[in-house]
Amino acid sequence: MKIKTLAIVVLSALSLSSTAALADTTPTTVNGGTVHFKGEVVNAACAVDAGSVDQTVQLGQVRTATLKQAGATSSAVGFNIQLNDCDTTVATKAAVAFLGTAIDSTHPKVLALQSSAAGSATNVGVQILDRTGNELTLDGATFSEETTLNNGTNTIPFQARYFATGAATPGAANADATFKVQYQ
């Protein structure tokens, strides 16, 4: 009886090990996705830092009571455009111009808000200010005050704020502007 039990155990073990030996050990490969690489090679005095190229400035939540009448503004939020690898033998100054859709012809320095499926705020836009608090024209051709460059990394500070064109109503308040840098 013991020999019979031992034989059954040995045969069972051998059948399991032969199944494991026959298992497919070939690696499996599946598609994972796409990686996009974006950039630009420039012939200029500096290169715009990758973090400055497509940045988001968080203006946060602002109460409609703060923007209850035309001309009212929110607190300004700072942001920077960083220039890397600057060579002052090529240029010694840099200025920035912003381009965006103005809210209307009477407010050429106020960016219009994007429409939102969930609803957008009304009677409000976004202003971009230089480091001294001057409102910038958004035509893409009017440049900010020049910044003197140093060799290496340079930071050009700006600010953004909400600007009311009337009594603001609540909703999403997002706007976009592109920028370009002029070296002299």
Q: What integer pLDDT is reported at residue 13 of this predicted model?
A: 57
How far apart CA 154 and CA 129 sit, in angstroms, is 18
pLDDT tens digits, 23-45: 678 898 888 888 877 888 988 99
Q: What integer pLDDT is reported at residue 39 of this predicted model?
A: 81
Q: What integer pLDDT is reported at residue 116 of this predicted model?
A: 66
Domain span at residue 96 reads: 47-183
Using CA atoms, how far residue 114 sits from 6, 134, 154, in Å, is 79, 24, 31
Residue 51, φ and ψ in degrees, nearest 5:
-70, -15
Cα dihedral 106, 110, 115, 119, rounded to 10, equals: -90
Identify whether 38 is part of a domain.
no
Identify whether 168 is part of a domain.
yes
Residues of the chain with pLDDT under 50: none
- Residue 177: CATH number of its domain: 2.60.40.1090
Identify whether 55 is part of a domain.
yes
Residue (of 100, 97, 70, 99) closest to 163 by Cα position: 70
- Overall domain count for the chain: 1
How far apart CA 40 and CA 180 sit, in angstroms, is 13
